Structure 1
Amino acid sequence: MATDYSGVPGAVADERGLRHVGGPLAEQRALVAGRAVAPLGDRRVLTVSGEDRLSWLDSLSSQSLTHLAPGVGTETLILDPQGRVEHAASIVDDGETAWLLVDESDAAGLATWLTKMRFRLRVEVRDRSDDLAIVGGTAAAVAALTAVGPTGTPVRWRDPWPDVSPGGWGYAVVEPHPGADRDWSEAVVTLAELDEIVAAAARGEIALAGRDAVDALRVAAWRPRVSADADERALPHELDWMRTAVHLSKGCYRGQETVAKVHNLGHPPRRLVALQLDGSDSVLPAPGDVVRAGETEVGAITSVALHYEDGPIALAIVKRSAPTDVDLVVDTSDGPVSAAQEVVVPRDAGATASVPRLPRLGRRAASS
């Protein structure tokens, strides 16, 4: 049953949950400061239980999971035989159950695929989306939310981004990384607890933020999301996802050969860029809008947001050959929008990745 936000002042919700509570820019500030939490209606919960759960997930995915300690969060990717991203999951284990927090659009497909891959191993896959929900915020903000794990271990996943995880590799060469101060966690709660959180917000006891604010903070941190930034051709290298979701020296898994070949011998054919958009005409692009260098089409927008400090921003996937030293243009339904680009994945990422660290572009103050 959908959560009822009608009692929360300013709340705007849809089939994907709470979009905002009237002020996405203020909500971003509240999230960063730990003064608000965000019900994540576009996220779902899967569980994998059984003695073989971690070694089994390890054998199927890009991350080293066999010895994942209880309460430690990481993430992993399911790749196709050509190394392309098919599914993504944030993972935390409580000692008895592996909890997979996934995008809504990816949940059913991932659950079906995992179920088909059980064979005779001692694992059980369940989709818990009908009785559990996810709430996000800073680590401190979600710390008070009730754990639902059977062992009593809090079911809270802390985002490792943008730190390079053991066995990972970071391609972004800008310092400081825009996600360096990112403090983001997601907690699993019962639907009854979510209703209590919403009721407390209606009484003015706590503050809520919507997914627009959550996504703006993600885009500003250059943090990829499978439902937004990964198309059917996406390689983890192209999104700088090697830093948190891929272990380069673990055992075999589907797609590993391509991951190793691109990283060690070649270059990803496309690359992620961050765009600071010209906001003078108050025009925001949409995902899928064409990105040009001069008159040449070089890629497309994947995510776009209005950030409380940086103003209008976006992520885009462009050809590896796209020039890095020119401003780009985004073709929107309301006309072209100029965009200053910041290189996330360098053109020489992979075999010859050895470029100096670059200073970040200056921030712009956004009017609220």
Structure 2
Amino acid sequence: MNTLAKRHPSQTHRVLTADDIEALAVGAWILGTGGGGDPYHKLLNMRLLYEKGHQVTLIDPMSLTDDALVAVLSNMGAPLVGQERLADPDFAIKPLRMMEEHLGRKFDAVMALEIGGGNGMHPMQVAAIGGYPVVDADTMGRAYPEAQMTSVAVAGLRCYPLTMADIRDNEIIFPRAASWRWMERISRKACTEIGSVAATCKAPRSGAEVKQHGILYSVSKAIDLGQQVRAARAAHADPIEAVLGAAQGKLLFTGKVVDVERRATEGFLRGQARIEGLNENAGQTLVVHFQNEYSVAFLDAEPVVMTPDLICLLDTVSGEGIGTDVLRFGQRVSVLALPAPEVFLTEAGLSAVGPRAFGFDLDFTSVFKGEQA
């Protein structure tokens, strides 16, 4: 069964503890499949906000009224730039305020565009500062690099308006776009012009849209995953096995990173990593390609795993997720595959996020073929 899409027995309202936030950072970084931005800086901000008495309330998406207005939040740009350009947490709330002014209405709740990486933590900052509840859902169940690579885009929901802000006090509103791909193109161009990193508030979603088309209970999934990894570390157990068990994943390869080619271009971080096998994979070479996130991996020139299956590179000892922006020579890594949300296994989903969407002339074959419910 695809546990990443399975309903989680969430309470209608749950006040997240500081430990929950710590676990979320671990789980979101694993689910980020290399992208979504390193959550560490956002985690530091959240620790400070909690020390000051702020809290975050996580709400069950099914408790939303159909006409509730939900802000969909993320950072946009190249993860490597996000490591170099730090921002005050108040920066994250600017696009939401812009959108509220544009719409003439306050939001009832916020949610992540993607649960992966720092973007899984992003709405937590906004919620802690602004007092909004966070919906236990996102639109990817992981991280993807482009606007059309979401469950709401696959469903054909409206792609506009979008608001964007940077640290220089530039504010941009995109009131309309012809399609999701056009929204991606024009907003990415603007993001590149202001330094390849920006905070955004995507097209608002109604409560009905979230309930019908969101990836539900993904925040709880990330927290649970992080808790399993942290518990394994505390018990001196194998955190990789903890991830495999918690997320119904498969271990594909273990090895050492021997080469990384990486370039920031057109608002993305693109490249590939070469991993030489260790232990049972000795003598083999795995090449993993990425566009912000890991997209396709080739074992001795043969494709072995590809999007929308989640390709996760984890530190073999700690179980920590390794982003495409921090991957480096000498790291001992375990390469895992986790099941994709079912919406991306449909014809429309594969058109949006399958290997051809990333430039690979491959028909999608899942590592979990015949296993997903």
TM-score (norm 2): 0.26
Q: Which structure has more helix as a fraction of its residues? A: 2
When Rg is computed on C-alpha atoms for both structures, the one with the higher figure is 1
TM-score (norm 1): 0.26
